Structure 1
Amino acid sequence: MSFWKRLMGTSPAADGSAPQPAKSGPGAPLLAVLGADMHSHVLPGLDDGADSVEAGVALVRELVALGYRKLIATPHIMGDFYRNTPVGVRAALAALTEATTAQGIDVTLECAAEYYLDEWFLPRLAAPDGILSFGGDQRYVLVETSYINESRVLTQAIFELCAAGYRPVIAHPERYKYLHSRLDDAAGWRDKGALLQINLNSLAGYYGPGERHAVEQLIDRGLVDFAGTDAHGLKHTTVLANLYATPYFDKLLALPLRNKTLLGG
């Protein structure tokens, strides 16, 4: 298992077999309710998601088949590990957009990034090329921490982003093991101005029972603002296609999620 998979917890298929593409079924129409996905790794060659334009097109095709009309790609930006830049991310977006258009796939593609909260993050706010946001004038910025230890710059990052006119969105809080025993901290992040995005596959226990329990608690407490796929490959769309069978999916959809607000810009 690679360093990145050990650090961030990417999971293989449960039986160890190669993942199969998602098939149409009862779950497919349900994701159309969300309309837009604001967390995916479909851009080719930038991180541990799609490794080629062809792989990106295949992943986009599956997400569209599940009901999405807009995909906001969020490649990792992380210190010296994923040294992506706004220029490089936009170039990858252009390549994928050209390919999906040529394939006749009806989808709107945009880009932002998933920023890892480390010592390199705060200086990026003052960098000439700035940081990548989504949601138009809302200027949402997707951020994440280690799954094991809380970032030492998390509170400061929330403050600095808000002060600079951005709205921080903390990715998949249910996956942070340090948070499982203190979900009040997640409520505190929202009180400070951050929003929370859960991974849909957490509802199915894809990442483990602890993550499933945490996401259910977040839903019960109304501490969810966005739902994202965090799709890195077809192994994730396979699980997404069966979300209709999970007990908390309808509860999630009953919350005032912001996904659909992204369809207009």
Structure 2
Amino acid sequence: MFGFFKKKKILEDIIPDGLVDIHSHILYGLDDGAKSLKETQDLISDLKSFGFSKFIATPHTTPLVWDNTKEGILNQYEKVKNELGFTDKNLRVASEYLMDDSFLKRLETEKLLTLKDHFVLVEMSYLNPPINLYEIILELNSQGYKPVLAHPERYNFYKNDYESFKRLKKAGCLFQMNLLSSVGYYGSSVTEIADYLLKEKMYDFVGSDVHHQKHIQAFSAEIRLKHINEFEYVIEKNNFFA
């Protein structure tokens, strides 16, 4: 009888010790993430309490909004790393690049900040994909980059267009799921899309995408996914970045 009342899993409880976070906004002073050194310290401390041990900070590079330069990101990274007494092993830096009309020009003029080797974190507008999306992906691939698309489940314009996910994978995109998508933080429709992508084994990695304390608090919520085994398997794949 009591088998019908199985205890649901809590997100923070399934984070394995030593997990590498490949997507976060913990570097203060660069975007809509941490606003002070103390916030950076608190976010890192909280994530460590869940099991994370290494961090690849990925501040936004978003033209006209958070128009960070490569040099600006690297300078702030060195500053924060020194303030915290961290090493390159504990805290690394990349960027989350918005793929928009200006992105191809960026590819012509600079080397991108990558997660590891040639793995680069990219995102799209939540309103619509760029008109030249596949041209951008082709150019990334031709330059040797491996695009890791941040939180594909959050692009609601693909909600009833699962063929587009398959097309993106076929074009060479890797998929990074936001951990908080598993608990309904961004809405039930986002969790449904994430569940579908897990079922279809389309995800390659996960990330916290932590910006602030509300995100940290959501790690104590129950997982709402049907495909939890697949979710846990994808989490383990982050070992690639260790």
Show the counterpart of 2:4: none
Aligned residues: 234
Amino acid at match of 1:173: P
Which residue of structure 2 aligns with residue 134 of structure 1?
Answer: 115
Cα distance, 1:43–1:194 mapped onto 2, change above 3 Å: same
Q: Which amino acid letter does the alignment assign opposite residue 72 of structure 2?
A: G
Alignment TM-score, normalising by the size of structure 2: 0.89
2:93 maps to which residue? 111
**What's the % identity of the aligned pairs?**
32
Q: Kindly report the root-mean-square deviation, in angstroms, between the aligned alpha carbons of the 2 structures.
A: 2.3
Give the drift of 1:247.
4.7
CA contact (8 A) 2:11 2:183 kept: no
1:67 paired residue number = 51
Q: Which moved more, 1:114-123 or 1:30-39?
A: 30-39
CA distance in 2, matches of 1:156, 1:245: 36
Q: Which runs of 4+ in 1 moved over 6 A?
A: none
* Distance (Å, rounded) in 2 between the aligned partners of 1:189 and 1:31: 28
The structural deviation recorded for 1:32 is 2.3
Structure 1 match to 2:127: 148
Structure 2 spans left out of the alignment, 5+ residues: 1-8
Distance 2:162 2:52 in 1: 30
- Structure 2 Cα separation of the partners of residues 34 and 189 of structure 1: 30
Which secondary structure does the structure 2 equivalent of 1:83 belong to?
A: coil
**For 1:232, what is the secondary structure of its paired residue?**
coil
CA, structure 1 residues 256+29, in 2 after alignment: closer, same or farther (shift >3 Å)? closer
Secondary structure of the residue that 1:123 maps to in structure 2? helix
For residues 42-97 of structure 1, the C-alpha deviation after alignment (integer angstroms, 9 at most, x for no partner) is: 01111000011221111111111111111111111111211101111112212222
Change (3 A) 1:214 1:246: closer
Aligned to 2:138: 159
Aligned positions of 1:1-265 closer than 5 A: 27-28=11-12, 30-32=14-16, 35-101=19-85, 108-127=90-109, 129-136=110-117, 139-242=118-221, 247-255=226-234, 258-263=237-242
| Contact 2:182-2:224 at 8 Å conserved across structures | no
Query: Alpha-carbon deviation of 1:255?
Result: 4.1
Contact 2:184 2:224 in 1 (8 A): no
**So what's the TM-score if we normalise by structure 1?**
0.81
- For the 8 Å contact 1:53–1:95, the answer to whether it is kept is no
